[in-house]
Amino acid sequence: MTQRRPAVALLAAFALGAFCVLGFAPFDAYLAAYFPAYFAVWPAPTLALGGLFLLWRGAATMRQALLLGLAWGAGCFLFGVSWVYVSLSQFGGMAPPAAAAATLLFCLYLALFPALAAGLFQRWRGNSLRDALLFAGLWTLTEWLRGSLFTGFPWLAIGYSQSPPSPLAGWASVLGVYGVGFIVALAGALLAAGWRRPAAWAAILLLLGAGGLLRRMDWTQPVGAPITVSLLQGNVPQSLKWDPKRLPLSVDTYLRLASEHPATLTVLPETALPLYFNEVPRDVLRGLTRHGDALFGVAVATTDGGYTNGAVTLTPDLVAKAYAKRHLVPFGEYPPPGFAWFFRFAHIPMSNFTAGPPRQEALAVAGQRIAPNICYEDLFGEELLGALPTATLLVNLSNTAWFGDSLAQPQHLQIAQLRAIETGRVMLRATNTGMTAMVAANGVIAAALPPFVTAALVVQAQGRSGLTPYARWGNLLALLLAVGACMTALRRRRN
């Protein structure tokens, strides 16, 4: 049905994009606190995409479709990644008007991807339930493109909203987060286009049921004995972290936490010690390894005069091995070509890291083989697969103090839930201000510290071996599914 009031349709698209954000953390926790038996947030993105599907089908022109996709994306990203403004203004030293403008432009850039999907859908759509396949395929391909182009930014990929208890979470072990996004988009479109048709409801129930069955499957097996891990959360304010006068207090905080919470493995967050590794006093290193091995984030100098964002394992004999962060954050950790001027407006310490090699071996520590990833690296699920099947545990070291008390921290923990399901591995998270947690191999948060407290989380972590289908094939299966859905819809339309 052609839209007769385009302005109202644009407002509806914007509102649907904002509504979609309710499907992500932390809104699930908010509702559970007040309505534990009545509400779930994971259907919100399905409903939001179903509404968007109807709007796209009603677009009369390519221009209108593009604007609808842009409006949906603007609503989603302006509400969902507003923490970019916090990072730039409060901790990056950028003037508030400049930070607001930069955040707006960034969100509009992200909105170009649903706009691209909308334009292609308007160009190729027919007038049947097969449009649901086209919608889901295009949505998945443009989300993958957003997560890949210009180093990628897959934050708020729809699949992340389906962390447990959503039954669709089980699909992540086979298709990964983009494949889960395909299922959500397909279910939303089927619901919108065929809510009166038994076949559409049967397909939706089949998707939900298959996801529930996949959640029960054990693709990986325990290996070795569980180890005691102490995850330290120093809660050092970002505004003080790089102050040389604060350094002794930061060091003392971590030494005290390590001493009071002994474990086989002690884990500190990203750049926990604002020094180069070779500058850390040996008595500090001995203090961190007094009860066992340690893994901590620290800058590591390179032979060519640069430095990497590193994760260093250390034994009580002070034998060290290091992992170097591979996927750096543009503007935060290095200046993209042609953007050196950006750092005249923002003041970000240690913002010119050198990237580590693409493939690095898992680190042997505390009787396990650990695959570290640092902060934002765990957004890129396929990049974590290189350490498998050797790695038995995943460990994320983050300094989320950059984002203040915002949506970023619970959203990042939700991302870790999907990584655990995709790999069939426990994901341990040590963060500066939150959310420090252990995520079980089935994606359930087994234990977590409250944010913005100085504390340690002591857990029993079980290593696992074996490979999930996603760990074997990466994003290939999801992309083939998306391409196949588009081709099926287009072939049937031509026939």
Catalytic residues: 270, 325, 375
Kindly report the number of other CB atoms within 10 A of residue 492's CB atom. Answer: 13
Assigned token pair, 310: 């590193």
In whole angstroms, what is the distance from residue 424 CA to residue 468 CA? 6
Residue owning tokens 């010119």: 352
Closest to 15 (Cα-Cα) out of 85, 90, 71, 60: 71
Question: Looking at residue 489, what DSSP letter applies?
Answer: H
Question: Looking at residue 142, what DSSP letter applies?
Answer: H
Q: Do residues 314 and 280 make contact, with C-beta atoms less than 8 angstroms apart?
A: no
What DSSP assignment string belongs to 385-418?
Answer: GGGTTT-SEEEEEE-GGGG-SSTHHHHHHHHHHH
Residues 6+ apart with CB under 8 A from 195: 201
In whole angstroms, what is the distance from residue 417 CA to residue 443 CA? 4
What DSSP assignment string belongs to 70-121?
Answer: HHHHHHHHHHHSTHHHHIIIIIS---HHHHHHHHHHHHHHHHHHHHHHHHHH
CA dihedral 183, 185, 188, 192 (to 10 degrees): -130
Question: Looking at residue 332, what DSSP letter applies?
Answer: T
